Amino acid sequence: MSGEIIERAGKGVGGSPEETVSNGDFYRIGRVLTAALDLNTRLDRVVEQAMEILQAERGSIMLLDEGMDELVVRTSRGLKEAREFRVRVGEGIAGWVAQHGEPLVLQDVVSDHRFRGTDPSIKSALAVPLRVEGKVTGVLNVSTATQRRRYDYLDLEHLISFADMAAVVIENARLYEALKKDHYHLGKELQMASRIQRSIISTHVPCASIRMVSKLMPASAVGGDFFSVIPLSRDSRFCFYCSSEVQDRCQNLRSEFCPNKFGVMIGDVANKGMPAALIMSVLTTILYEVGRHHISPRTILNEANSAFRRFFSESQYGFATLFYGFYDNTDNTLTYAKAGHESPLLLRGRSGELEYLDGEGFPVGLMEDGNYQEKTIELEREDRILLYTDGLTGALNVKGEILGRKRLVELVKIHAREDIEAFLDALADEIMLFSGDAPQPDDIAVMVLELEDLYDLTMTVGTEMRQIRYVINSVLETLQGFEGLSDPVTLRLCLEELLHNAMEHGNRCDLSKKVYITVKAEPRRAVIRVRDEGEGFDFGRILARGQEEQPVLSERGRGLTIVSHYADELWFNREGNEATLVFTAD
Amino acid sequence: MEISVSRVGDMGEIAVVKVSGVVDSETVDRFGETIEQIFKDGCYNIILDIGGLTYINTAGLSVIADAFKRSSQSKGALKILRAGDAIRELLDVVRFTKIIDIYEDEREAIGSFR
C-alpha cells in the first residue's frame, strides 16, 4: 500500500477559504445541471461541471446496476475505457467507493492496490459516491495527470458537495425516464385494447333493406359503452329462413345466418376506462352467443343478468344498462326489452312523429330477477330508430349544463330529414358544438337504424364468383320496366364490376361474408345498391386516379373507372363498403 | 365466347387471336389461357381480332393489359383489330387506346409488324 494514500476521515479539513466554491457557483451549476430532463444530457453536464470545478482532465460517472451488482460507466471524458465499461462492486477504486459508501482521495493512483485501470499516466484522483436517501446509486470519478496538481481534502469536500446535488439531479432524470418508458408501454397497451374493443363490436346488418350507422366515442382510449348487431343463426328453430319468399333466390346462400332476422343491442357499463372495457367485453360476448340462438329479448336479458351476477358478483363491479331488440324483416316488427337503459327514440318516417321505446326492467347485475318485459312494435318503411347511451344526453357544456333528452329530441327533429349518415354526423357535430371546450365526461355510443323504402328486389348472396351471373340476371329481370335498359351491356358491365369488387376486394373472397343487393326500378330511374361486409376502401383515391390520363392498370381502379363512366351517378357510403349506382333513361 | 388462333406473316411469326361473343367471369380464364399458350410457344407478336366481341369485363381487360405488357417486354407487340363502337368506348374509358394501336384492316395490322 502506498504511503501517499490518504483515506478520507471526513473531519479536520484544511485549505484556504478563497478556493471554496461559493453559493453563487452552486446556483449556477444547479442551473446548468437541471437545464435538460434527459438522463444522458444530465450525466454529461455532471461530468463536465465536476471536471471544471476540480480542473481535471478525466472524469466519469458510473451508475449502479443493482440486479448485476455492477457499476456501469454511463458517461466519461478523457478516458480510454469505452462507455458501458463495467466493474464489479468491491473491485477497483470505484468499486471500493460503491461498496463502502465512502469517498476517496488518492494522490498517487497507480500505486494504489485497488487500482485496476490501464492508464499509467494518471496521477491524482477523487472518487465520491452518488447517494440518494443514504443509498449509493453510483460513483463520480475525476482524475488528473498533471504532476503539479495533487487533490487534497478540500478538493474532496468540493466534489462531495457537488456530488450530493448531482446525485439528486441524476436520480430525477432516471425516475423520469422510467416513468416515460412505463407510460409509453401503457399507452401501447391501451391502444391495442382500444382496437380489440372495437373489433368485438359487430355492425354488419344481415338484412339488405335495413341501413345502420353508428359512432362510439369513449371518454378515454377504452370505455364501457357498446353496441352490436347479432345475426340469428340459421340453425335456430326460430329461423324461418327456408320458408321466406326469397327462398328460391337464396338457396345457394352459404351463410350460417338468417338474412331476415337479427338482434340489435346497446349497453352501458356503470364504470369507465379499463375496468368498464373488460366487463363490456364479457357482456358483449355473452349477448352475441345467446342472441344467435334466441329471439326473445327477455330471455336474452335474463341470461345477461345471471351471467353478470355470476362473473362480477362483487358489488364494486356495479351493473350495466342494456337495450336489446329483435328485428324480424318478414313482418317488420321489433320486439325489445330494456334493462334500465335510456329509451331509444323511434322517429316515424311518414308522420315525423317521435315515440319512445320505453319499458320496465332493472339494469343487469343489480337484482336476481331483473323483471324484464317484452314489447313489440310494428315498423314501417323509412322509420328510424336512435339507440344511444346516457353519455349523449349527459354531455356537458362549459357552463356545466347538461344536454338532456329534451334538447336531444329537438336536435333529432331538426335533422330528421337528412340521410342517416348525415343525420348521425349532424348529431355528433351538435353535441360537440354544445360541449365546446368542456371535457367529455362519459363514454358515448349512438346507433341509428333505418328501414329503407320498399325495394323491387333485395338479394343476399354469399361471396362466390359464380353467383355474379345469377345476380346480374335477376337485376336485369327486375329492371324490365326501366326505359334505360335499351343498353344492357353497360349496365351489366357496371354490375359485374361492383359485385366483383364487393366479393374480391370488399369481402376478400371470404366465403362466410355476404353481399347485399337492392334494386329500386322506376320507368326513368334505376337505383342499384351493392354492399359488402368488408372494411371499405378509399374510393376517393381510386376514383381520382381514374381521372388521370394514364392507362388504368390496377384492376380495381379500372373497374371503378368504367362504372363511373357509364353510370349516371356513383357514390359510396363513408366506410366505402356500399356503392350506390344510378341510371336514368335519357 | 368463341376463340381461335391462327398464324400469319412470312414465317408465321404473328398470332391472330380471334375472340367473339362474351368475355365474362365464366369465359375469361379460357381467354387468358389461350394468350398464355401463345407466349409459351415463343410468339410475342399478337393481333387481337375483337370484331365479334359483344361484352368484356375488367378481368378480360386485364388479360389484354397483361398481354400488352408481356409482348412489349419481349420485344414483340400487341395490336387490336376491329373494335366495335361499344368496345372501343370501353377501351377509351380505361385509356388503352393511348397505348395500344387499333386497326380496321387486317393487312394493315400485319404490315405494322414489319
What is the least distance, in Å, from the CA of B101 to any CA of chain A?
13
**Would you say A519 and A482 are in contact if contact means Cβ atoms under 8 Å apart?**
no
Quick one: pLDDT band at residue A243, thresholds 50, 70, 90? very low
Q: Could you tell me which CATH number the domain at A200-390+443-451 has?
A: 3.60.40.10
- More confident call, A153 vs A552: A153
For residue A273, what are the CA distances in angstroms to A282, A443, A567? 15, 9, 47
Rounded CA separation A37/A392 (Å): 41
**Would you say A494 and A526 are in contact if contact means Cβ atoms under 8 Å apart?**
no
- Give me the architecture of the A6-177 domain, per CATH: 2-Layer Sandwich (3.30)
pLDDT digits (tens, 9 = 90+) for A332-376: 899 999 999 999 999 998 888 999 999 999 999 888 898 999 999
Reported as half-sphere exposure (CB side, CA atoms, 13 A), residue A583 has a value of: 30
For residue A123, what pLDDT is reported? 85
CATH number at residue B6: 3.30.750.24
For residue A555, what pLDDT is reported? 66
A43 pLDDT more than 90: yes
pLDDT digits (tens, 9 = 90+) for A414-437: 999 888 889 999 999 998 899 888
Q: Is there a contact between A551 and B96 if contact means CB atoms under 8 Å apart? A: yes
Q: Is there a contact between A493 and B94 if contact means CB atoms under 8 Å apart? A: no
**Would you say B103 and B79 are in contact if contact means Cβ atoms under 8 Å apart?**
yes
Of the ranges A109-118, A382-391, B72-81, which one carries the lowest mean pLDDT score? A109-118
A200 pLDDT more than 90: no
Mean pLDDT of chain A, nearest integer: 83
pLDDT digits (tens, 9 = 90+) for B94-108: 888 888 999 999 999
For residue A18, what pLDDT is reported? 42
Among candidates A489, A490, A550 on the partner chain, residue whose Cβ is nearest the Cβ of B95: A550
Q: How many domains does chain B have?
A: 1
For residue A244, what pLDDT is reported? 39
The SS3 call for residue A374 is coil
For residue A470, what pLDDT is reported? 84
Residues 6+ away with beta carbon under 8 Å from A88 = A69, A70, A71, A95
pLDDT digits (tens, 9 = 90+) for A313-330: 776 778 899 999 999 887
Edge-to-edge order in the sheet of strand A345-347: A210-217, A444-451, A384-388, A345-347, A354-356
- Assigned CATH topology for domain A457-584: Heat Shock Protein 90 (3.30.565)
A54 pLDDT more than 80: yes
DSSP letter for each residue of A151-209: --HHHHHHHHHHHHHHHHHHHHHHHHHHHHHHHHHHHHHHHHHHHHHHHT-----S-TT
Chain A residues close to B65, C-beta within 8 Å: 551, 553
Q: What is the average per-residue pLDDT within A43-55?
A: 91
**Would you say A160 and A151 are in contact if contact means Cβ atoms under 8 Å apart?**
no
Among candidates A553, A559, A561 on the partner chain, residue whose Cβ is nearest the Cβ of B65: A553
Structural domain for B90, as ranges: 2-111
Residues 6+ away with beta carbon under 8 Å from A180 = none
Of the ranges A107-111, A222-226, A335-339, A499-503, which one carries the lowest mean pLDDT score? A107-111
Q: N- to C-terminal Cα distance for chain A?
A: 109
Chain A residues close to B62, C-beta within 8 Å: 555, 558
Q: What is the CA radius of gyration of chain B?
A: 13
Quick one: pLDDT band at residue B86, thresholds 50, 70, 90? confident
Q: How many other C-beta atoms are found inside a 10 Å radius of the C-beta of residue A473?
A: 12
Among candidates A468, A469, A562 on the partner chain, residue whose Cβ is nearest the Cβ of B90: A562
Q: Is there a contact between B98 and A551 if contact means CB atoms under 8 Å apart? A: yes
- In this prediction, the answer to ipTM > 0.85 reads no
Range with top average pLDDT, A408-417, A481-490, A534-543: A408-417
Q: Is there a contact between A562 and B24 if contact means CB atoms under 8 Å apart? A: no
Quick one: pLDDT band at residue A553, thresholds 50, 70, 90? low
Chain A residues close to B70, C-beta within 8 Å: none
The SS3 call for residue A583 is strand
For residue A493, what pLDDT is reported? 87
- More confident call, A366 vs A544: A366
A218 pLDDT more than 50: yes
A19 pLDDT more than 70: no
For residue A7, what pLDDT is reported? 45
Rounded CA separation B35/B68 (Å): 11
For residue A221, what pLDDT is reported? 78
Q: What would the grid cell of residue A117 be? A: 485501470
Q: What is the average per-residue pLDDT within A165-178?
A: 92
Name the closest residue on chain B to residue A549, using Cα atoms. Answer: B95
Fold match between domain A6-177 and domain A200-390+443-451: no
- Mutation for B interface: A552, A556, A564, most B CBs within 10 A: A552
Rounded CA separation A474/A62 (Å): 80
- More confident call, A64 vs A219: A64
Q: Is there a contact between A549 and B95 if contact means CB atoms under 8 Å apart? A: yes
Q: Is A477 exposed, middle or buried (0-12, 13-18, 19+ CB in 10 A)?
A: exposed
Q: What is the average per-residue pLDDT within B44-70?
A: 91
Q: How many other C-beta atoms are found inside a 10 Å radius of the C-beta of residue B39?
A: 17
Rounded CA separation A239/A260 (Å): 9
Nearest Cα to Cα of residue A62 among A73, A52, A53: A73
What is the least distance, in Å, from the CA of A472 to any CA of chain B?
12
Chain B residues close to A468, C-beta within 8 Å: 25
Q: What is the average per-residue pLDDT within B71-100?
A: 90
